[in-house]
């Protein structure tokens, strides 16, 4: 489903977390979950219920599939928190109107980017390996999973960073091959802002989104 080349492309420029929302569809229950991570693991398995249905159902139109994908991402990922993190200190330099426009463009860009990459279920499996509660002020939980791609490809370990917002868990980051997805995206966005400013980043996102929409017809 995903090759090493695609992995590197995601690491270089795009938050890859949302693509793995689909891989959550194959999560297998852990036989002996670590106590601090039981709820986080249960959350990821719950995310699988809608994800597997999306992958297996072959008669969705493109627009229907994108709509279902949006539901999965909105349920499972903290889009606003991620959007704020990837612009770092520049968030405070935006006025409220810029913040609102940026968040809308950022979320839409991510959703369309990964909706376009949806594939079918090809027997991939994901096993929960362990979960660890961090010492951060938010008490984030890192859930480590092992993804088996099949077809002789090596398995990969993916760490999901899960945070509780009120009574709900959401994914705020994931990493593989030693790299954080949102950390990589933050470096790119900060580089863009340093060159062309906050307004330039917003214009850049607007342009990226326009290209995606044009490609979709």
pLDDT digits (tens, 9 = 90+) for 100-125: 999 999 999 988 887 776 665 566 66
Reply yes or no on whether the pLDDT at 193 is more than 70.
yes
Reply yes or no on whether the pLDDT at 30 is more than 80.
no
What mean pLDDT is predicted for residues 63-90? 88
Q: Which residues contact 120 (CB under 8 A, 6 or more apart)?
A: 55, 56, 58
pLDDT digits (tens, 9 = 90+) for 133-142: 999 889 999 9
What's the pTM? 0.80
Nearest CA to 147 among 182, 185, 181, 176?
176
pLDDT digits (tens, 9 = 90+) for 149-189: 667 778 888 888 999 999 889 999 988 878 898 999 999 99
Reply yes or no on whether the pLDDT at 14 is more than 60.
no
Per the prediction, the chain carries an average pLDDT of 78
**Considering its fold, how many domains does the chain have in total?**
1
Cα separation, 209 vs 112, whole angstroms: 8
Helices (H), the chain: 4-13, 19-23, 38-56, 62-76, 79-85, 96-115, 181-215
CATH number for the domain harbouring residue 101: 3.10.450.710
- 22 lies in which domain range? 4-215
Reply yes or no on whether the pLDDT at 5 is more than 60.
no
Q: What pLDDT sits at residue 35? A: 52
């Amino acid at each position: 489903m995903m090759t090493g080349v695609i992995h590197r492309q995601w690491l270089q420029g795009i938050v890859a977390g949302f693509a793995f929302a689909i891989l959550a569809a194959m999560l297998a229950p852990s036989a002996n979950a670590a106590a601090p991570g039981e709820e986080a693991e249960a959350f990821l398995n719950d995310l699988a219920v809608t994800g597997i249905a999306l992958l297996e159902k072959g008669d969705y139109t493109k627009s229907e599939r994108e709509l279902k994908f949006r539901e999965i991402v909105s349920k499972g990922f903290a889009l606003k928190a991620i959007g704020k993190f990837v612009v770092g200190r520049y968030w405070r330099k935006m006025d409220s109107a810029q913040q609102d426009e940026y968040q809308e463009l950022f979320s839409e860009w991510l959703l369309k980017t990964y909706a376009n990459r949806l594939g079918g279920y090809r027997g991939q499996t994901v096993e929960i390996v362990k979960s660890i509660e961090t010492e951060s002020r938010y008490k984030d939980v890192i859930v480590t999973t092992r993804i088996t791609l099949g077809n002789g490809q090596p398995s990969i370990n993916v760490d999901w960073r899960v945070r509780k917002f009120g009574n709900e868990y959401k994914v705020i980051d994931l990493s593989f091959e030693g790299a954080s997805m949102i950390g990589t995206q933050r470096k790119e966005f900060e580089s863009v802002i340093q060159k062309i400013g906050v307004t330039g980043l917003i214009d850049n996102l607007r342009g990226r989104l326009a290209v995606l929409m044009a490609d979709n017809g």
